[in-house]
Amino acid sequence: MYRKMVEIRKFEEHVWDVYTRGWMPGLAHLYIGEEAVATGACSALRDDDYITSTHRGHGHCLAKGARLEPMMAEIMGKEAGYCRGKGGSMHIADMSVGNLGANGIVGGGFGIATGAALSAKTRGTDQVAVCFFGDGAANQGIFMETANMASVWNLPVIYLCENNQYGEHTPFQAVTGVDEIADRAHGFGMEGTRVDGSDALAVHDVVRHAVERAREGGGPTLVEALTYRFRGHHVGDAAPYRTKEELEWWMSNRDPIELLGREMRRRRIATQAQLDEVQTETETAVVAAVEFARQAPYPEPEQAFEDVYSE
Amino acid sequence: MTQAATTDTNERQLSYREAIIEAMAEEMRLDETVILIGEDVGPSGGIFKCSEGLFDEFGHDRVIDAPISEAGYIGLSVGAAMTGLRPIAELMFGDFSLLTMDQLVNQAAKIRYMTGGQCQVNLTVRMTMGAGRSSAAQHSQSLHALFAHIPGLKVAVPSCPYDAKGLLKAAIRDDNPVLVFEDKMMYNDVAHVPDHDYVVDLGTAAVRRAGSDVTLVGTSSMVGVALEAADELAALGIEAEVVDPRTLFPLDIDALVDSVRKTGYAVIIDEGVQRYGATGEIAATLQEQAFDYLDGPVLRIGAADVPIPFSPVLEMPTIPDTARVVEAVQSQRRR
């Protein structure tokens, strides 16, 4: 779990670097600061379980099993990318490990994840689906529609709200009628829990419990993970809408990698030297992925006209 | 191009509605991953009775009454299609498709492409179209052209019971999102429908009447209007050929060009609003691809440029009718 979180952090730091050097086109929404949510949740899933991700999706993809090279290649628009350059940062998917895709529409995953859960139930498997979404998506109408169907049909889906406290530039309290999004679960007729989204172990425990219940036919759960993004909405957003003090407090006190590392040292699971080694190894792997992606060829322009329809 | 189905009265007759039910029942028997989801599709059989009997045969796991959450259950259908089911979703009125635009246009149409071909969205969405029953502006629209505009979607507009069955079966088997528009004014139309397993391939037009003087391209219920107009024109000494594209996308442009090559004139009739509509797209395509064969401008007849009114006295003039087609053909030849 520690290694995965470090991998996500380093990956995102390099995306920032790649972006500012002009090596990638488009937009990049970084997951730095939120690593515990994707990692804690996906470590409670099997490969054949499903997730849907968001525009801030790199962390979910890596946590669900995506490899660094095709991730970075996709972000640079290369043929070797997961979507062969057709999706980019906001649309990375890897069906082979149950990642049904990041989504450029806020709330775009609700229907797909709930449909995957309906499919699992209808086909008689015990797969579950986790729908990652943000505090912004919590105010989309389709959340109510799909959560209601999941509740009434007892579908194996976990709605995992990453409340990073800002919907783009707007504080979530300014546009949300409840203090805790988890409270909305009662209105849907399902269980709701809020968890410390900086604590990977806590996220893992809550999600594992929800997954076990869903597998056994216990139906859906709404989990709200309170977290914070350490960077702007996207690379280039200096985030003037929040205070320096607030940002510094979260970075100093609630860095999920620091917190897990401290806990591992406290429980004597790992020494600082071992954790440092993970950092070094991961940095090397991400640097190699950047180099791989830079060297990888672009798709042929004619490929723009392929994959619109399944033949 | 194929010829129209025979209407030999010795053969089995089915209504357009019964043909739709038979198509779904046959596909659900053949493939256990086919499910039907929609408002009131279950025990009640639907407000237009288009799923009657299916709940009894296939049960609540495969014939699912959805809450009144169009965006939600179309969204679920997209996710289910990506993960091993082959859903048929019913939208009671095509007007309600506007609540589902994100699911159909941003998600269903694009997921295969955005993911570099990693998945397919084998989803069929059935919905009604057509005015003429005093349902006013939010229960009468014909919105098929809106979806034909979107890369990644296919659009079928069956004009008769034979096609209602054959196109729907093709849509269900297709590995792409296919929208099937059923004109609610045709549900009671009866004609020959074979009781065996057949499909009408998406993208194959049908010549409904052969003629040498003008091509009338009609879609959905406008095929009937074109055929009536052809009878009237015949009395005036003008032999009209009536061509039914059957699907707006894929569009069998070769069949339309072949007909125009023979006749030299074309009038396009469609019940969608005329501006920026199916009539304009087909007319422009013919002018690009059959210009050398045309002896006059291609004319368009679509629904009037107004929301559909309630009172029959107001409503009927907004819908294309036989008189307008006859007048268009005559005016075309006077130029």
* Residues B184 and B218 placed together within one structural domain of the fold: no
Among B141, B159, B192, which residue terminates a domain? B192
* Residues B150 and B252 placed together within one structural domain of the fold: no
B7 found inside a domain: no
The radius of gyration computed from the CA coordinates of chain A, to the nearest angstrom, equals 19
Using the beta-carbon criterion (under 8 Å), do A310 and B107 form an inter-chain contact?
no
| Integer Cα distance of B132 and B309 in angstroms | 10
Using the beta-carbon criterion (under 8 Å), do B119 and A152 form an inter-chain contact?
no
* Residue B107 with chain A: CB contacts under 8 Å: 103, 105, 108, 111-112
Contact present, B75 and A111 (Cβ < 8 Å): yes
3-state secondary structure of B112: helix
Which residues lie across from B284 on neighbouring strands?
Answer: none
| Integer Cα distance of B242 and B256 in angstroms | 10
| Integer Cα distance of A108 and B151 in angstroms | 19
CB atoms within 10 A of CB B204: 18
* Residues B215 and B176 placed together within one structural domain of the fold: no
| Integer Cα distance of A13 and B114 in angstroms | 25
* Residues B133 and B37 placed together within one structural domain of the fold: yes
Tens of each residue's pLDDT in chain B, 335 residues: 444 444 445 689 999 999 999 999 999 999 999 999 999 999 999 999 999 999 999 999 999 999 999 999 999 999 999 999 999 999 999 999 999 999 999 999 999 999 999 999 999 999 999 999 999 999 999 999 999 999 999 999 999 999 999 999 999 999 999 999 999 999 999 999 999 999 999 999 999 999 999 999 999 999 999 999 999 999 999 999 999 999 999 999 999 999 999 999 999 999 999 999 999 999 999 999 999 999 999 999 999 999 999 999 999 999 999 999 999 999 998 87
Total residues found in chain A within this entry: 311
Task: Give the residue numbers of B marked as catalytic.
Answer: 70, 139
Using the beta-carbon criterion (under 8 Å), do B73 and A149 form an inter-chain contact?
yes
- In chain A, the residue whose alpha carbon lies closest to the alpha carbon of B69 is A145
Using the beta-carbon criterion (under 8 Å), do B80 and A309 form an inter-chain contact?
no
What is the reported pLDDT for B9? 52
* Residues B300 and B227 placed together within one structural domain of the fold: yes
**Residue from the list A118, A307, A310 with its beta carbon closest to the beta carbon of B76:** A118
Whether ipTM tops 0.90, in short, is yes
Structure tokens at B32: 């256990």
B198 found inside a domain: no
DSSP annotation of A303: G
* Residues B263 and B321 placed together within one structural domain of the fold: yes
User: By the CB < 8 Å criterion, does B141 face chain A?
Assistant: no
Residues 6+ apart with CB under 8 A from A188: A144, A147, A148, A150, A151, A220, A222
User: By the CB < 8 Å criterion, does B71 face chain A?
Assistant: yes
B247 found inside a domain: yes
A2-292 folds as Rossmann fold (3.40.50)
**Residue from the list A50, A111, A123 with its beta carbon closest to the beta carbon of B103:** A111
* Residue A87 with chain B: CB contacts under 8 Å: 114-116
**Residue from the list B72, B117, B154 with its beta carbon closest to the beta carbon of A145:** B72
Structural domain of residue B327, as residue ranges?
206-334
Q: Which amino acid is at B27?
A: E
Please give the distance of CA A66 from its chain centroid, rounded to a whole number.
12
* Residues B36 and B182 placed together within one structural domain of the fold: yes
Domain count, chain B: 2
Using the beta-carbon criterion (under 8 Å), do B115 and A82 form an inter-chain contact?
yes
**Hey, which bits of B136-175 come out as E strands?**
154-156
**Residue from the list A105, A110, A119 with its beta carbon closest to the beta carbon of B80:** A119
B3 found inside a domain: no
Structure tokens at A60: 């979910």
Query: Where does residue B171 rank: exposed (0-12), middle (13-18), buried (19+ CB within 10 A)?
Result: buried
Residues 6+ apart with CB under 8 A from B104: B74, B97, B125, B147, B150, B153, B177, B179
Structure tokens at A46: 């099997």
* Residues B80 and B227 placed together within one structural domain of the fold: no
* Residues B129 and B249 placed together within one structural domain of the fold: no
Contact present, B108 and B152 (Cβ < 8 Å): yes
* Residue B62 with chain A: CB contacts under 8 Å: 122
Tell me the pLDDT tens digit for each residue of A217-273.
999 999 999 999 998 888 888 888 989 999 999 999 999 999 999 999 999 999 999
Using the beta-carbon criterion (under 8 Å), do A116 and B117 form an inter-chain contact?
no
- In chain A, the residue whose alpha carbon lies closest to the alpha carbon of B178 is A309
B250: preceding bond cis by omega (within 30 degrees) = yes
* Residues B23 and B156 placed together within one structural domain of the fold: yes
**Residue from the list B76, B112, B176 with its beta carbon closest to the beta carbon of A111:** B76
Using the beta-carbon criterion (under 8 Å), do A108 and B107 form an inter-chain contact?
yes
B199 found inside a domain: no
Q: What is the CATH number of the domain that holds B279?
A: 3.40.50.920
* Residue B119 with chain A: CB contacts under 8 Å: 93, 95, 100
| Integer Cα distance of B243 and B282 in angstroms | 12
The radius of gyration computed from the CA coordinates of chain B, to the nearest angstrom, equals 19
Contact present, B153 and B109 (Cβ < 8 Å): yes
B4 found inside a domain: no
Among B192, B221, B244, which residue terminates a domain? B192
Q: CA of B173: how far to CAs of A230, B31, B48, B78, in Å?
A: 48, 10, 24, 15
User: By the CB < 8 Å criterion, does B74 face chain A?
Assistant: yes
| Integer Cα distance of B292 and A56 in angstroms | 54
DSSP structure string for A50-75: EEE--SS-HHHHHHTT--HHHHHHHH
B50 found inside a domain: yes
Tell me the pLDDT tens digit for each residue of A40-74.
999 999 999 999 999 999 999 999 999 999 999 99
Q: What is the CATH number of the domain that holds B112?
A: 3.40.50.970
Using the beta-carbon criterion (under 8 Å), do B72 and A146 form an inter-chain contact?
yes
| Integer Cα distance of A44 and A63 in angstroms | 11
Minimal CA separation from A305 to chain B, in Å: 9
| Average pLDDT of the residues of chain A | 96
Q: Which amino acid is at A269?
A: I
Structure tokens at B107: 């998600």
Minimal CA separation from A86 to chain B, in Å: 5
User: By the CB < 8 Å criterion, does B296 face chain A?
Assistant: no
B154 found inside a domain: yes
CB atoms within 10 A of CB B59: 11
Among B163, B192, B221, which residue terminates a domain? B192
Using the beta-carbon criterion (under 8 Å), do B78 and A146 form an inter-chain contact?
no
What is the reported pLDDT for B333? 87
* Residues B25 and B59 placed together within one structural domain of the fold: yes
CB atoms within 10 A of CB B231: 12
Tell me the pLDDT tens digit for each residue of A197-230.
999 999 999 999 999 999 999 999 999 999 999 9
Minimal CA separation from A34 to chain B, in Å: 25
pTM, 2 dp: 0.95
Give me the residue spans of the domains in chain A: 2-292
* Residues B221 and B170 placed together within one structural domain of the fold: no
